[in-house]
């Protein structure tokens, strides 16, 4: 008989609505599972059980219970949660407890989902690996000597190890899709403005957006339905979908034009043969499903890289440590912050403007195509510590770029992008493949992804620590 954690998030929600299991029983089941993969910075068992028990019973006639009502989840440690320690992955905020929750946390609570705690993230969500000073490294459950990716590495590790069925992540340069690839999951970066960043609005560039990490496309779509929405005061927002994102998974996407390229965008780096094979296999799969796949040039020019780096450095500098705690920052954060502080206000403004012009050029070049196909990463998950270099932060940063040479392109353009776990190496490591769609076309992206999952299902795959 299947264990509760063998069920998908939607199956668990259905079991709650049928009265076969209570939200408290689900929460208790997951809280009893050990964290062997560095997924959590802070667990909140008492609060989780209290909230689970306080939820209305489905037979109480409570209206509007969604498909994930009563389902456990977890919130990335970059997001404010009232009364719960929120470290932003930094020793400089090791004891910080916010008084208010942000829009993401409130949306999760309003849907009747139960957060079990805060998932691990690197300092201020900057690196593409999750090795913070305030917690053990987040590792992929497929090989616990290897990284879970970042910056939503704790979220990816938690879902892949069966510690929660679905988890919240955020993505400013690949931070949902990178751990999805490393952990064998579905990771969706939504369109810019799809999920509110209220009340912090800490990213004036518009690179980052929250989204789901899940084991299936349908679970990811259902969780996006929970997260999506605008708040009064949002500087930008995506147009409302025609229906639910979950319903989009059942649509026929029709025959599509798919652009593909494999040349790295932000680094002149080699691509592991396993990643090339995954990309080639995905191309053939899409063709076998009736879609037209065409090779295209890289849509962003090399001069986009230094522009992105200016913005990234300034965003890091804005993530300041509390007064007197600057010495607690990691070498990479200090190095990026110094670069950011060296940028003048006019230079930053010009960089944002240039980034928007470059994005417009890429969007125009890709406009004839419904989807864009690339690898997610340039290699399978690397050993813990393979990218981190505290003695040479510049080398650390370059190594990160070489590992993730495609993901940030879609943060620049604001397009939705999804990593799908379509390949495993001979020694059992997951390799993701990435699809991107035009802005605000998550419904199409989910419809295609659901068909891909039907053709090559992966939910039956379980890592050794499952």
Closest of 218, 113, 131 to residue 168, by C-alpha: 113
Average pLDDT over residues 147-164: 98
Q: Is the pLDDT of residue 1 over 70?
A: no
Alpha-carbon distance 333 to 131, whole Å? Answer: 13
Q: Is the pLDDT assigned to residue 112 strictly greater than 60?
A: yes
pLDDT per residue as tens digits for the range 173-195: 999 999 999 999 999 999 999 99
Coil, strand or helix at 268: coil
Per DSSP (E only), the strands in 12-165 are: 40-43, 72-76, 114-119
Position 208 pLDDT exceeds 80: yes
pLDDT per position as a tens digit, 385-440: 999 999 999 999 999 999 999 999 999 999 999 999 999 999 999 999 999 999 99
In this structure, how many other beta carbons lie within 10 angstroms of the beta carbon of residue 290? 11
Would you say 110 and 138 are in contact if contact means Cβ atoms under 8 Å apart?
no
Residues whose CB is less than 8 angstroms from the CB of residue 274 and which lie 6 or more positions away in sequence, other chains included: 379, 380, 423, 425, 429, 431
Catalytic residue among 76, 118, 189, 401: 76
- Tell me which of 115, 120, 151, 337 is the catalytic residue: 151
Tokens at 282, concatenated: 């995905």
What pLDDT does residue 2 have? 80
Average pLDDT score over residue span 128-148: 97
* Tokens 């076309």, residue located: 441
Q: How far is C-alpha 19 from the chain's CA centre?
A: 31
Taking the alpha carbons at both ends of the chain, their separation in whole angstroms is: 15
At 247-283, the pLDDT tens digits run 999 999 999 999 999 999 999 999 999 999 999 999 9
Q: For the domain 11-455, what is the CATH code?
A: 3.90.1300.10
- What φ, ψ does residue 186 adopt, rounded to 5°? -90, 125
d(CA 369, CA 385): 38
- Among residues 152, 175, 283, 337, which one is catalytic? 175
What pLDDT score was predicted for residue 62? Answer: 63
Residue-averaged pLDDT of the chain: 97
Share of the chain above pLDDT 70, in %: 99
Confidence band for 219, pLDDT divided at 50, 70 and 90: very high
From the centroid of its chain, how far is CA 142? 18
Overall average pLDDT of the 128-149 stretch? 97
> What per-residue confidence (pLDDT) applies to 63?
65
Q: Which residues of 104-122 are buried (b: 16+ CB within 10 A; e: fewer)?
A: bbbbbbebbbbbbbbbbbb
Quote the pLDDT of residue 58.
84
The structural domains of the chain, with segments of one domain joined by +, span 11-455
pLDDT tens per residue across span 50-99: 999 999 988 765 667 899 999 999 999 999 999 999 999 999 999 999 99
**What pTM value is reported for the model?**
0.98
Contacts 24+ apart (CB under 8 A), 249-253: 249/217, 249/218, 249/221, 249/446, 249/447, 249/449, 249/450, 250/447, 250/450, 251/443, 251/447, 252/447, 253/370, 253/444, 253/447, 253/448, 253/451
Q: Is 175 a catalytic site residue?
A: yes
């Amino acid at each position: 008989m299947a264990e509760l954690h063998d069920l998908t998030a939607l199956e668990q929600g259905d079991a709650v609505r049928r009265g076969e299991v209570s939200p408290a029983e689900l929460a208790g089941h997951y809280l009893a599972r050990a964290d062997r993969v560095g997924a959590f910075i802070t667990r909140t068992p008492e609060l989780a059980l209290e909230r689970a028990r306080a939820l209305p019973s489905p037979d109480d006639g409570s209206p509007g219970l969604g498909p994930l009502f009563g389902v456990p989840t977890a919130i990335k440690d970059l997001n404010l949660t009232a009364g719960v320690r929120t470290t932003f992955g930094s020793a400089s905020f090791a004891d910080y407890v916010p008084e208010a929750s942000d829009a993401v946390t409130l949306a999760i609570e309003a849907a009747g989902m139960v957060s079990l705690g805060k998932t691990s993230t690197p300092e201020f969500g900057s690196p593409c690996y999750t090795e913070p000073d305030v917690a053990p490294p987040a590792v992929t459950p497929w090989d616990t000597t290897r990284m879970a990716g970042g910056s939503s590495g704790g979220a990816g590790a938690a879902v892949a190890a069966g510690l929660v069925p679905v988890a919240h992540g955020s993505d400013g340069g690949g931070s949902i899709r990178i751990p999805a690839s490393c952990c064998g999951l579905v990771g969706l970066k939504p369109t810019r403005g799809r999920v509110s960043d209220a009340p912090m609005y800490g990213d004036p560039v518009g690179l980052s957006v929250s989204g789901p990490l899940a084991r299936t496309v349908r679970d990811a779509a259902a969780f996006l339905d929970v997260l999506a929405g605008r708040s009064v005061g949002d500087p930008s927002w995506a147009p409302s979908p025609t229906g639910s994102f979950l319903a989009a998974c059942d649509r026929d996407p029709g025959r599509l034009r798919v652009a593909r390229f494999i040349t790295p965008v932000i680094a002149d780096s080699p691509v592991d043969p396993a990643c090339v094979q995954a990309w080639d296999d995905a191309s053939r799969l899409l063709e076998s499903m009736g879609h037209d796949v065409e090779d295209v040039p890289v849509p962003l020019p090399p001069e986009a890289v230094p522009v992105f780096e200016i913005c990234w450095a300034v965003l890091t500098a804005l993530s300041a440590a509390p007064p007197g705690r600057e010495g607690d920052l990691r070498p990479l954060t200090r190095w990026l912050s110094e670069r950011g502080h060296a940028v003048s206000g006019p230079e930053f403004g010009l960089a944002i403007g240039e980034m928007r012009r470059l994005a417009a050029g890429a969007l125009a070049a890709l406009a004839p195509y419904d989807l864009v196909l690339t690898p997610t990463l340039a290699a399978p998950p690397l050993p813990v510590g393979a990218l981190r270099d505290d003695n040479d932060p510049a080398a650390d940063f370059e190594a990160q770029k070489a590992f993730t040479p495609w993901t940030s392109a879609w943060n620049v353009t604001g397009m939705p992008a999804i990593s799908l776990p379509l390949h495993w190496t001979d020694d059992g490591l997951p390799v993701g493949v990435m699809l991107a769609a035009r802005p605000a076309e998550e419904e199409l992206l989910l419809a295609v992804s659901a068909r891909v999952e039907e053709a090559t299902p992966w939910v039956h795959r379980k890592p050794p620590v499952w």
